């Protein structure tokens, strides 16, 4: 076993042991408390560190440490603008709704977001509607998260002999469990992840999820800060890295076959992934392994990247390139220039950034405005974040958590942009497979610092992010089903032991469903995550915010707001799917569907209030007035 | 309504301030990025980053963080 594999395995085992120990401690800590409030809200006892880190860790999904780095690598400094609204997100996400939501949840004894809506509007229909929407969208959201987590797990453990043997055993003993298009390594990674995360979530409930979130939050920030120091050191400083990026031109992406002038031996001939090769004065890097089968002379086509700028070529050659065997000749074809940025230097440091497919570049101005609204609105409107706002212990906790999370996100997102801009200098030519840049950088930086075990810690960062999102969402679906469907609508007098068993069973079933979905990994992972995250936000932000701050907001308005916002959002995606044949929405005026969905949600809310039955006076007084029992006072609209 | 809960009124005022602070961040970030980045043909470096990143993203980010900490700790009222 290589030192890298040993480091990865050691880090993974240590991390798993700590997660399981935390789950066990959490279960003991909550053993003697009322089941539902403890299992789903930790008895509303979150302190400052717990609230800040569980909020931060749940918000930062696997996408933050896999998808976001790959976008920085592919498009450069413009990603600083793409993610910029995280500068104000902690204040918006916690401060906008936190105080009122926590107050209303305590006043009514609400445990879930649909619970709050039911009590605020005295409407079972609204609660049931929001439960169905919540459970559906969250279940869809879980599938790509499981898929990403198992890909990370596969990357983490692929060099470990025991993992390779177990994968082989899995493929031989239960081949039906390895669908076409996947590998035994992927399925094994998926199963390990599912058992681990379902196990500690079902076993320890909300408290375990929060405690593991704290651990995961620390792992994330420590990993990012260590990577920042190493990346800047190895790139020769930030100014040097920016200057080098300024000289870069976007690569050309194409395919190559490798031809041998003799028949390949019985063991075949392999040109490894990420191999450099030259033809005449041109420099290429393979994006996957090319195999020449025994007795043949030609490999199957593989993806290759051509480096274009002279400075970059010189730098790579100076580091040294292992030549291909003399008997092998590459034949490159189908090279495509970037739709924006081809032949131009400076595009990686100037907005809108280069794009292989879009002539307007990666981030035209309209999209920049959209994303500034997107992250703040989408994050604030996530029911997963709202639940955390129902669980803190006092306003003082909320205030300190806002301050702590603001500093935490600054320490995560600004360094991530810098690290993966440096990655363009340190690990060039990965433009065909930028999703791999996080693990590639982890190993490269640890190697460069001569501290191989560090790779284990760094590569645990995206794994921790995936776990912290998945556990929260699984628990939220469980709470929706057990509390909002079963207890509120079927068995109001259900015993605590029944609810406990049902909660465990429900969490396990959700885990099995998500695992089964991830066995057939969907395409467009990042798009599904963005679509479902945005869908939840447009469905819940308007109704919940207006329920908290508009005394005259009524049941009809809340229903119209929830349905109207989601339908408008869905319609733009469906129109894009019909017109473009991909999960790419139509963007009127260059603005994201989330903005239109949110505007539609507000418009429908106003219509519902104007034409629906007025909000009952006792509800208005209960939630907004100092004297709920007062009679005979007129309430102005 | 004559007897609205003062705690509700304070929370609403705080929410409006937060929305305004988000709008200020949006205007600063997009405005400066447009002026120094989208609309500019040349690239200069400040603090090791492109100027538009430094003054359009990093400086407002630091300002927003300082504001969030101050507003969170000093201005949101305990209830």
Q: What CATH number does the domain containing A215 carry? A: 1.20.1740
| pLDDT tens-place string over residues A160-207 | 888 888 888 888 888 888 887 778 888 998 999 999 889 888 888 887
The answer to whether B61 faces chain A, any CB pair under 8 Å, is yes
A37: Cα separation from own chain's centroid? 27
Are A396 and B78 inside 8 Å of each other by CB? yes
Q: Is B32 among the domain residues?
A: yes
Tell me whether residue A414 is in a domain. Answer: yes
Are A205 and A261 part of one and the same domain?
no
Q: What is the pLDDT of residues B24-59, one digit of tens each?
A: 999 999 999 999 999 777 789 999 999 999 999 999
Domain that holds residue B43: 15-75
Contact A399 B33 (CB under 8 A): no
| Contact A92/B at CB under 8 A | yes
Distance from the A425 Cα atom to the nearest Cα atom in chain B, whole angstroms = 15
Position B9 in a domain: no
Q: Are residues A288 and A422 in the same domain?
A: no
Whether residue B4 lies inside any domain: the answer is no
Q: Which of residues 39 through 58 in chain B touch A, CB cutoff 8 A? A: 40, 43, 45, 47-50, 52-53, 56-58
Q: Do B72 and A92 touch (CB under 8 A)?
A: no
Look at residues A518, A536, A563 and tell me which one is the last residue of a structural domain.
A518
pLDDT in the model for residue A79: 96
Picking from A407, A624, A630, the nearest residue to B5 by CB comes out as A624
Question: What are the CA-CA distances from residue A167 to residues A164, A460, A608, B29 (Å)?
Answer: 5, 21, 56, 49
Give domain status of residue B7, yes or no: no
Q: A599-618 burial, b if ≥16 CB within 10 A, otherwise e?
A: bbbbbbbeebbeebeebeee
| A200 and A94 belong to one structural domain | yes
Q: Does residue A224 belong to any structural domain of this protein?
A: yes
Examine residue B38 and state whether it is found in any structural domain, yes or no.
yes
Considering the domain architecture, whether residues A498 and A376 belong to the same structural domain is answered as yes
| Residues of A with Cβ-Cβ distance to B14 under 8 angstroms | 95, 99
Distance between CA atoms of residues A318 and A634, nearest Å: 82
For B19, the closest chain A residue by CA position comes to A92
Select from A243, A372, A396 the Cβ nearest to the Cβ of B29.
Answer: A372
A332 and A396 co-located in one domain: no
- Looking at the fold, whether A371 and A490 belong to one and the same domain comes out as yes
Is residue A539, in this structure, part of any structural domain at all? no
Task: Check pLDDT > 80 for residue A269.
Answer: yes
Domain contains A318? yes
> A620: which chain B residues are within 8 Å (Cβ-Cβ)?
1
- How far is A416 from A447, CA to CA, in rounded Å? 19
- Boundaries of domain holding A619: 550-637
Number of domains making up chain A: 3
Q: How confident is the model at residue A605 (pLDDT cuts 50, 70, 90)?
A: very high
Same domain flag for A445 and A571: no
C-alpha span between B15 and A64 (Å, rounded): 27
> What is the pLDDT of chain A when averaged over all its residues?
87
Helix (H) or strand (E) holding A334: strand A328-336
Q: Is residue A225 located within the same domain as residue A256? A: no
Let me know: does A359 contact A347? Beta carbons within 8 Å: no
The complex's ipTM? 0.95
The answer to the question of residue A353 being in a domain is: no
What's the number of domains chain B is made of?
Answer: 1
How far is the C-alpha of A466 from the C-alpha of A462, rounded, in Å? 6
Residue A423 pLDDT class (50, 70, 90 cuts): very high
In a domain, A322, yes or no: yes
- Exposure letters A471-481 (e unless 16+ CB within 10 A, then b): bbbbbbbbbbb
Res A630: pLDDT:
45
Asked if A400 and A330 sit in the same domain, the reply is: no
Residue A581 confidence class, pLDDT cut points 50, 70, 90: confident
* Strand-pair partners of A332: A256
Question: A454-468 burial string, b = 16+ CB within 10 Å, else e?
Answer: bbbbbbbbbbbbbbb
B1 falls within a domain: no
User: What CA–CA distances, in Å, run from A603 to A68, A541, A562, A609?
Assistant: 33, 13, 11, 10
């Amino acid at each position: 076993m290589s030192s890298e594999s040993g480091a990865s395995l050691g880090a993974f085992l240590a991390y798993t042991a700590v997660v399981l120990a935390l789950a066990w401690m959490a279960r003991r800590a909550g053993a003697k408390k009322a089941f539902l409030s403890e299992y789903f809200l930790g008895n509303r006892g979150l302190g400052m560190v717990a609230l800040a880190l569980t909020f931060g860790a749940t918000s930062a999904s696997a996408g933050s440490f896999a998808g976001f780095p790959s976008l920085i690598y592919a498009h450069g400094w413009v990603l600083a603008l793409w993610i910029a609204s995280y500068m104000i997100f902690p204040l918006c996400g916690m401060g906008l709704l936190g105080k009122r939501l926590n107050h209303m949840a305590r006043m009514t004894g609400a445990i879930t977001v649909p619970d709050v809506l039911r009590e605020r509007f005295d409407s079972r229909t609204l609660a049931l509607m929001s439960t169905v929407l919540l459970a559906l969208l969250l279940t869809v959201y879980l599938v790509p998260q499981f898929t990403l987590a198992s890909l990370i797990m596969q990357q983490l453990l692929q060099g470990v002999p025991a993992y390779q043997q177990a994968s082989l055993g899995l493929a031989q003993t239960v081949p039906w469990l390895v669908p076409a298009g996947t590998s035994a390594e992927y399925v094994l990674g998926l199963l390990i992840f599912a058992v681990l995360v379902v196990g500690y979530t079902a076993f320890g409930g909300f408290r375990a999820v929060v405690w593991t979130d704290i651990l995961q939050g620390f792992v994330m920030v420590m990993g990012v800060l260590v990577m920042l120091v190493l990346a800047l050191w190895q790139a020769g400083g930030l100014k040097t890295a920016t200057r080098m990026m300024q000289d870069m031109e976007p690569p050309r992406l194409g395919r190559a076959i490798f031809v041998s002038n003799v028949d390949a031996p019985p063991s075949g001939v392999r040109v490894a992934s990420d191999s450099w090769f030259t033809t005449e004065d041109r420099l290429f890097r393979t994006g996957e392994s090319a195999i020449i089968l025994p007795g043949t002379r030609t490999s199957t086509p593989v993806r290759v990247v051509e480096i274009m700028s002279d400075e970059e070529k010189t730098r790579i050659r100076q580091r040294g390139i292992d030549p291909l065997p003399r008997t092998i000749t590459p034949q490159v074809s189908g090279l495509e220039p970037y739709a924006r940025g081809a032949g131009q230097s400076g595009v990686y440091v100037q907005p809108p950034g280069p794009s292989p497919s879009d002539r307007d570049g990666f981030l035209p101005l309209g999209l920049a405005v959209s994303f500034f609204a997107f992250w703040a609105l989408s994050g604030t409107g996530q029911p997963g974040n709202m639940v955390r706002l129902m669980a803190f212990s006092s306003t003082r906790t909320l205030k300190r958590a806002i301050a702590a999370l603001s500093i935490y996100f600054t320490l995560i997102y600004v360094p991530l942009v810098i690290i993966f801009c440096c990655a363009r200098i340190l690990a060039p030519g990965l433009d065909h497979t930028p999703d791999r840049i996080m693990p590639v950088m982890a190993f490269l930086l640890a190697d460069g610092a001569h501290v191989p075990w560090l790779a284990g810690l760094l590569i645990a960062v995206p794994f921790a992010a995936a776990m912290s999102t998945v556990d929260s969402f699984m628990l939220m679906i469980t709470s929706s089903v057990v509390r909002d469907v079963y207890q509120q609508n079927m068995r109001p007098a259900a015993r605590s032991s029944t609810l406990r068993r049902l909660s465990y069973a429900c969490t396990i079933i959700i885990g099995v469903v998500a695992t089964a979905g991830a066995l057939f990994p969907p395409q467009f992972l990042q798009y599904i995550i963005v679509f479902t995250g945005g869908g939840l936000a447009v469905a819940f932000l308007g109704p919940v915010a207006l329920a908290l701050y508009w005394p005259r907001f009524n049941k009809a308005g809340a229903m119209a707001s929830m349905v109207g916002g989601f339908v408008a959002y869905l319609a733009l995606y469906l129109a894009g799917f019909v017109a473009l044949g991909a999960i790419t929405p139509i963007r009127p005026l260059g603005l994201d569907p989330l903005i239109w969905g949110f505007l539609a949600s507000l418009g429908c809310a106003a219509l519902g209030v104007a034409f629906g039955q007025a909000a009952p006076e006792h509800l208005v007084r209960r939630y907004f007035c100092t004297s709920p029992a007062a009679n005979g006072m007129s309430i102005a609209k | 309504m004559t007897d609205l809960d003062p705690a509700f009124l304070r929370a609403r005022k705080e929410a409006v301030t937060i929305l305004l602070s988000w709008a200020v961040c949006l205007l600063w970030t997009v405005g400066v990025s447009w002026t120094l980045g989208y609309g500019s043909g040349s690239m200069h470096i400040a603090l090791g980053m492109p100027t538009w990143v430094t003054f359009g993203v990093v400086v407002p980010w630091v300002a927003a963080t300082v504001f969030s900490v101050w507003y969170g700790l000093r201005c949101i009222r305990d209830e």
